[in-house]
Every structure is written in structure tokens, then in C-alpha cells.
Homo-oligomer: A and B are copies of this chain.
Amino acid sequence: MMKAVTISDVAKQAGVSKSTVSQFLNQRYDYMAEKTKKRIEQAIDELGYSPNIVARSLKQKSTMTIGVIVANILHVFSTQVIRAIEDYCNESNFHVIVCNADDEPAKEKRYIDMLRAKQVDGIIVFPTGGNVDLYKDLVKQNYPIVFMDRMVPGISVSSVLLDNEKASDLAVRTFVKKGYTRIGMISPPIVKNITPRTERVDGFKKALKKQQMTFYPEYLASGEIADIQVMMEQLFKQANPPTALLALNDRVLVEILQFVKAQQFNIPHDLALIGIDDVSFAGIYNPELTTIAQPAFEMGKKAAELLLYLIRNKNVQEEARVYRFEPKLIERTSV
């Protein structure tokens, strides 16, 4: 590494003081003589100087960096959210550090601690829900934080979520409209902290009721992704198996399709299907898959907006809010 050139070198070269160079860098040339500017500009050019942001951050107590802790960057939804956050931050000259908590509270805690030690200006997190005390602490300290995809009961942090009940409602209506009556749903483990799961399942039940349909508990199967094949077998061993199935998310959908393939079911004749999450192959699958899309980009952008607002307005005590986004039904031919 070459020895770095500092503000002192520039000052010396330009024949002015460090203060003046600093003023120049921060565009505070209210009363700066034109020739001083020129000299500094030239010195910077000649030396190839670029300010050390770490030093600036130390002084200014702002790193222009935020942290994003996702459950897993491999999920398409997370990827889209990150992309949107990155785009938004980029416009505002913020950088983003990405972390994977893998739904493990211990990892999440470690990342939050590290990010704070690194003095990031704020954090967007898909909360595991397993660090309630930590969240409370952050709130008490008025630390800028936004929750994404999930809420944590009792924690007053603004949260960006899909209108999950609406998503299920959209699906159920679609099935009912086409005359299906034996409607089931497949879900990963319904864990209390994981808002999308609880809300989508609740929404599913409510929607059936609203449509005056009976909810058959035996048509609602939930369990680890790895166990879904077995769960499906059992589901279809029943006397009257469901004729329509809602997949809680993209990963569940893939499992269902696996099963459908093995059983050589004909969609939608033997089984109608709707998946929440507009998977990349929905339009090219045979038959095309009816899905419910999440506006992931808008959601990511909203979270970034909220966070930067909190960062810039630390003094104002904002009321935490839940921001709901509209799911969108994309009708294709699997129903």
C-alpha cells in the first residue's frame, strides 16, 4: 500500500491550513477567496487526495452506513428488498452492510452488537423475535431501527409488512369464484414470531368464513420444508382430499409442485394451486401458475425511507407505525 495522503499534505501543498482545506471539502466556501479554492483544488488533484471517511465519521458521529439483517439472503424476497434498500441509500450516499441471521436469535444479537459497535447510523432487520430485551433497549435508546416483514409484539418499532390477511383472502376468493370448496393450505411451521405465517394462516381461516365456506382443519398442513412431501402424502390419503391448495410461500410452492409431479396430478383439474410470492417461473410453468405477488421493491424502499428519516430526525419522538403493502393477484391458469 502506498502511504495515504492526508488533509495535511493537501494543506501543505496548497499553502493553506487544514481548516481551510476542510472547509473546501465540505463546500463551505461562503467567503473563500477564488484563488484559495483553485490552489486547493489543484493540490487535491496533484496528490490524488480523497478524504478518510473513517476519520470524518469519528468526529461527526455518523458513518453514513446502515446495517440490514435479513433472515436469509438466498430468499428472493430478501434479495429484492436489499436491492431496493441499496438503491435508495445509494441516492442518499449511504452504504449498506448486509448480514444473514439465519433466523437464529444468537446470530442476530451478535450482528446487532457488531453493527452498533461499528457505529452504523441505523438498522433494518427481519427480526427473529428472539431478542426482545435487545429490541427494547434499542427503542429506549432511541436508536434508529425498522422492522421488515415481521412485527414483534410489544416492541414499538415501525414495521413494513405485506397485508398478509389480504393475500390469503385474495387466494380464497379466487378459489371460491371458480367453484372450489375443498380448499387447503400448506405452511412451514407456524411459529408465533413469524408474522407472515401466522397472519396468512389466520387470513386463510377468516377468508373462508367470509365466503361462508367451512374451514377443514385437516386441510391445513404445516411443518418443516423437508417434511412437506410426507405431509402431502398424508393429506391426499384422506377420503376427501382438498381440491385446491394455497402455498404459504415460494418454498412451499416448490415442494407442492414436487409432489404434484411425483403423483402426476393434472393442474388445475386434479388440484388447483395458488402460491404467495410471484416466483420467477410462474409464467413459463405448465400450466402457468396463479400467484400473489408482494411488492418487495416498494417495501424495501419504504423501509429505507423510514430509516433514513429516523436517522435524520433523531430528536423528534416518532410514533412507531405498521406500514401495510398490498399483495397483488396475478391470475394465470393453475386455478
Contacts and interface: CB of A to CB of B under 8 A. Distances in A.
- Which residue, A98, A117, A143, has most C-beta atoms of chain B within 10 A? A98
A52 interface: yes
Interface string A46-83: 00001111110110000101000000111000011011
Please state the number of chain copies in the assembly.
Answer: 2
Contacts of A53: 117-119
Contacts of A95: 97, 99, 114-115, 118
A258 B53 CA distance: 48
A87 B101 CA distance: 10
A contact face: mostly helix, strand, loop, or mixed: mixed
A293 interface: no
Interface stretch (A226-234, A237-245, A277-285, A316-324): A277-285
Contact of A50 (B55, B87, B97, B116): B116
Interface in A80-111: 80, 82-83, 86-87, 90, 95-100
A66 B121 CA distance: 18
A286 interface: yes
A113 interface: yes
Interface residues of A, number: 50
A41 to B, nearest CB: 17
A257 interface: yes
A209 interface: no
Interface in A259-309: 261, 279-281, 283-286
B97 A97 contact: yes
Nearest to A142: B1
Given A86-B99, A86-B100, A143-B1, A54 B118 contact: yes
A79 B51 CA distance: 31
A280 B280 contact: yes
